[in-house]
Chain A
Amino acid sequence: MGLLTQSNEQYYGSQQVFVATAAQTQFTWTGGADRSNSAYGVNLIPFIDGVSMSNFEVYINNVKIDQGPGAGKYQVSSTNAITLGTGSTLNDVVKILLKDIKAGKWNNHDTYQYVSIRNIINNFKMAYVGDGKLISRVNRADIIFHAKRSLQEFSYDTLKSTRSQELTVPSSLSLLIPQDYVNYVSFFRIDNAGVQHPIYPSNSLHQSPQQVPVQDGSGIPTQDDAADNLEGTSITNERWGDTADYKISGAYTDQMFNDGIYDWGWEKVSLGQRYGLEPQTSQSNGWFNFNEREGKVMFSSNLANQLIIFNYISDGLSADEDMKVPKMAEEAMYMYMLHAILSSKIGIPEYIINRYKLQKRAALRNAKIRLSNIKLQEIVQVMRGKSKWIKS
């Protein structure tokens, strides 16, 4: 039996059309199964008592009707089912159409490449646990634990789990760390052409303090009524925010040009006038650093009101719909779980554990190669640069 449970209409059109019988009131969207069955565990048309769902629309004979109680309207009566307030006429065409938003059409697509953690757990239990199998008995909680741990580990270095946000840096020069943030990958400033320019960590230049105790005249931290140290605002951060970026990067400003600070003729640039610049800081894209104390990312002053892209990694467990694994890494996850469970059980021969240790490594290596997405055609395109002459 094939794994696809949606019709072409449900997937490509994100809609389901019903030809009503006389006085029919209930219509059930059957296309929720792709996501709920094999992918994520989220129904496309969920039923939440007392809440209007806004991710889909209902049409009768191509006329949109409103959601709500009463005649001429419809309500979500249970998961994936709508009930009309007025019974249909025979051969009325009732259409449920997902809207062009994340909770609608977007969620309906891009699902087949993933398998949900729930299915991973169920598949694992079916295939590897039971009477006469490698693991005769194991608590389901143990399987769930190792499945989620493996998803976390895989998220850090194997899966394509990088997330990104497009943000505008406010004049306060700080942004909240994303809710599911685990580590950053990169920051880019986006210019007017939409091209990205890397922003670098401020590292040796500046860092946000983790504590800013308020000191008395003798330098001793002072306490509040609850006997905890009083926290002040960071002067380091203030100074960093006030600093003009060019003073560090050595960037050439319009004012410098007008004032004729440097003789900036092209023939002199290569003569060493800027000799001695620190390459690490000689960039004008800007800097960022993490303010652990406030849970924020801080940016240098030249990035105020600039558009940035923030790439980061999560652990894949932040929300139910995130708990998914690319099918390319499914086998690696089973092997990880198998090895983890076998090696934590008493009485399993060491050669069995070693066998699955090797299997785990091999499967993980395979998964990494598969997910690294190396395509010969793309490599060839890059290698075409070899034919370019480099002048010396």
Chain B
Amino acid sequence: MTTLTINGKRHDIALPEDTPLLWTLRDELGMTGTKFGCGMALCGACTVHLDGEAIRSCVTPISAAAGKNITTIEAVGEDKVGLALQQAWQDHGVPQCGYCQAGQIMSATALLHKTPKPSDQQIREAMSGNICRCGTYTRIHAAIKQAAGVSK
């Protein structure tokens, strides 16, 4: 049994310890906001926070997440920065299909917590682990700058 704290709520999970957090969230707990994209930490669609750090849940076994605070897209709006990013995402009409955007917002939230006023280069570096196949990168960039209050 592994005990996970997800969005402030405790869950006892009866899955093998090597089960990735991603599939635990999606299949066991029905929290489908976190997406599967590659299974190898290459695309960022599955990004969640572990004690505030952006991590790829597809390669994070639940044993490594036990005892830490897990935050997912479903609750990131309770955080001021997360909420500002969700708003900026809508203001800029960022999403196209929307599939990767949960991961994008989770990465952006972690970035702004660590670096509240990021440079263009810092934004690009922080966001380059998240693939968007629809090609919303320029709008993501602008939305992050708006949320950070560093727009020109």
Q: Indicate whether A and B interact.
A: no
Chain A positions near chain B (C-beta within 8 angstroms)? none
Chain B positions near chain A (C-beta within 8 angstroms)? none
